[in-house]
Each structure stands twice: as C-alpha cells, then as structure tokens.
Amino acid sequence: MNRRKFLKTSAATGAVVLTGNLLKGGTQAYGAVKILEAEKITITIITDNYADALRMNYKIARRYFTKPTDSIYNMALHSEHGLACHIETVVNGQPHSFLFDYGVDFQGVSRNMELLNIDTKILEALGLSHGHFDHSGALVAILKSQKDKFPKGIPLYVGEEAFSERFLKIPIGLYSINVLKKEDIEVLGFVKVVEVKDPSPIVPGAYLTGRIERVTEYEKGAPYLLVKRGDKLERDQFLGEQALFFIVKGKGLVVLAGCAHPGIVNTVRHVQKVTGIEKVHAVIGGFHLVASNAETVKKTVTDIKALAPDYIVPTHCTGFEAITVFQKEMPRQFVLNTAGTKYVF
C-alpha cells in the first residue's frame, strides 16, 4: 500500500499511523494512533528540586504567587528530590487534563496540589514515567486521600517494568529505589493499570513515547542503577521509561521527560522520528545528567542546541552543573524551573 492509499484508509477508519518513518516513506510503523494538534498546552510543575518564591514570570514561565490577602506561609511551596506534573491540553476547543509523575513526599506534594488548585475530579488519566521513588513515591497516598474525587476507572499508563525491583548501588550499600507495587494500586478498586510499549495517546493532544530508541553513542545510562530480572541484578537500561510529547498548533513539538534515563537527546530524536516533525518548540523535564562527566554534558548540550528548540527547561535530576551549561550555551532559550511554575504553550 503506498502512502496516499494508506493515509486515505487511515482517515476512513479514524486513525493515522504515528510514525515518522512511514510519513517519510519508510517501512516501520509504531501503531495506529490518531495524532491531534493542540491549540494550547499548560504544564504545571507541582514539585521539583528547586523552589523560589520571589522569581518573576519569564517568557513561557508563569510563576506561582499567592494573593496579598492569603497567609504569607502560602508562598512557600514544597520542593524535594522529585518531580510531579499536572498537564492540560486544549484540542478543538475542549480541555483535557491528567497527572504525570507524583514526587516523593505525600504531605508536600498534596499541599502543593492544593495551593495550585489542581482539581482531581476532572482528571481523565494518570501517567508514570518510571517506577523510581522520586516519581512514584506519593502516588498511592494521593490516590487514597482523594479516592472519592478521582473518576472511577481512571487509567494509569505505565511502561514496561514499571513495577520491577530497582536498586541504587554505591560504595556504602545497595538501596531499593522502586517503591511502587501494582497490587497496591489495583486494590484501591478505581484505577486501571495500562501498560504501553508503543507511542500511545494519554488524553487528546498528549502522547506517551513508548519504548525510546537509542541512537546516540554517549547516552548509556548510569552503571550504579540496577534492575532485578529473575534472580539477577542487571544494569538498568530503562527500556520501558516513558516521556510525553505534544504537537502545538503552529509551534511544533513539546517534549516532557520525567528523568530521561534513556537520554534526553535520544528522547527528542525518537519523538521526531515517530511524528515526522522536525521542529522542536520546547524540551522540558529531568535530563539525568546530575552524575555525568563533563564530556557527556557537553555532548548532550551540543546535540540539544543543534535541535534548535525555542525553549529549554531542565528540571529535577539534570544537575546544577549541567543546568549552568545549558544556561551558558543556550541563554535565549533557557528558562530556570521552580516548583509551582506553569509553562504555557
């Protein structure tokens, strides 16, 4: 079937194949998914490693502020070694919303959700980048605390091995860092766990990447992060880690990574491939360069710079040193993230 016939058939069945290769004349398909442009995307960082109550609005960033009549203590948003996000899309004039990653500390994250006026009653889905504690630690407690508010049957989208045992290996010991158990979610009775392997929609206008293809020679992952497969501990390649992508009408791609263990350059290139869209509007999220050597940081920044995004917003596990390199090398595109910031595309 040639490309013209394929697209006509896909349109007739209400689906368009989500694959850059196919749209460019290649042969590999990732699955039938209807791609919808969004008129508007709003990404709210519920919690992150950094907080700053006095930082002003900047470019696409809308900082959290309290009303002068509110308690002065409401200015103090919780921050931690973790990431949690609330995402809204507008497609054909209709709003949609979901959560992606949940941070560590339930009290801090839930307090931020309250201050940021995040309404769980209207959520359509939940998403998880991967099972590490700094992205999933508060999830079950959040679900329990608002079990009467979450929609019945709300899907939780996860990648492969999301519930596998994972460990951090350092000279003084071996630490378990995967705290999430599938049975703890299913026993609640109102959440449906959905595993994805291919690029998949989470709500209209927002898509999970599926398994991210590795193409760079330097994004090899951290040797101190392990996963248990059977009776063996193996180096974790995060085969099932998910990122999010959006196509903003008239702007191009927005890519949101939780930790980018597969590599942030690999992640963006994967999204370009499966969508067939080269233009990158924004790259945001954890880039997991915190313990990387200077050469890896340099190569990453060089390759991201070559992708020419309009905005670059490193968060969470990117690491102070790498963040400063992004700011130095991409000053016009760089935005410093803080907990509570809304990014409006």
Q: What is the tens place of the pLDDT at every residue in 265-295? A: 999 999 999 999 999 999 999 999 999 999 9
User: Does residue 20 surpass a pLDDT of 50?
Assistant: no
Average pLDDT over residues 236-251: 97
Q: Where are the domains of the chain?
A: 23-344
What pLDDT was estimated at residue 18? 52
Can you tell me the distance from the alpha carbon of 281 to that of 309, in angstroms, rounded to the nearest whole number? 5
Chain-centre distance of CA 19, in angstroms?
20
Question: Tens digit of pLDDT for each residue in 133-143?
Answer: 999 999 999 99
Can you tell me the distance from the alpha carbon of 202 to that of 6, in angstroms, rounded to the nearest whole number? 24
Q: Are 243 and 257 in contact (CB under 8 A)?
A: yes
Residue 138: CA count within 13 A, CB half-sphere: 28
Average pLDDT over residues 223-228: 95
Q: Of 135, 63, 116, 123, nearest to 99 (Cα)?
A: 123
Q: How far is CA 158 from CA 210, 211, 241, in A?
A: 9, 11, 8
Question: Tens digit of pLDDT for each residue in 88-138?
Answer: 999 999 999 999 999 999 999 999 999 999 999 999 999 999 999 999 999
Q: Are 339 and 50 in contact (CB under 8 A)?
A: yes
Q: Which pair of structure tokens corresponds to residue 133?
A: 């504690």
More confident residue, 26 or 172: 172
User: Does residue 6 surpass a pLDDT of 70?
Assistant: no
Lowest mean pLDDT among 25-29, 188-192, 301-305, 327-331: 25-29
User: Does residue 40 surpass a pLDDT of 90?
Assistant: yes
Answer whether CATH 3.60.15.10 is correct for domain 23-344.
yes
pLDDT, the chain, mean = 91
Residue 306: CA count within 13 A, CB half-sphere: 9
What pLDDT was estimated at residue 9? 34
Residue 227's DSSP bridge partners are 166, 234
